[in-house]
Amino acid sequence: MKKVVYEVNNDGYVIETYVAEVGLNDEISDIDKQHMVSITIPNGLFKPKWNGVKWIEGATQEEIDEITKVEPSPPNEREQTIELLKKQNQALSKMNTDLSKTNAELKKSIALHDGIISELVLKMFDEDTEVM
């Protein structure tokens, strides 16, 4: 029966893939190569490695993390608009806060001046009444 077989290097990593005639005991008959493996590589291995008995994961955790790392896609027009609106909203909120503070300071200043003016008017009124 024809089957996919794998040639592995001395470290157990696949260096070539062949289709070969395989006997009942998984014996490879029509390829004269050392380090041939006829056992199918199981799904889910990122870097298959033959340990002499079975296929194992040959990738380090760092390599797996790099392979499976999801690159963020660039923001689309809608996302860009949302980000711009968020920034504008923050800027407007700060402006509103600053204007509220300025308004409160102006009210205090006006009240203070109103008090001073009221005192001056009263003084002037008192002085006018004394003269008469």
Q: At CA 17, angle to CA 42 and CA 43, rounded to 5?
A: 15
What's the pLDDT tens digit per position in 101-132? Answer: 888 888 888 877 777 777 777 777 776 666 55
Could you give the 3-state DSSP secondary structure of residue 42? coil
pTM: 0.50
How many CB atoms sit inside 10 A of residue 108's CB?
10
62 beta partners:
none
Question: Which residue in this structure is represented by tokens 């870097």?
Answer: 47
pLDDT tens-digit readout, 77-93 = 988 889 889 999 998 99
Average pLDDT of the chain to the nearest whole number: 85
Residue 41 near residue 48, CB atoms below 8 Å: yes
pLDDT on residue 65 = 94
Confidence of residue 31 (pLDDT cuts 50, 70, 90): low
Phi and psi torsions of 5, nearest 5°: -125, 155
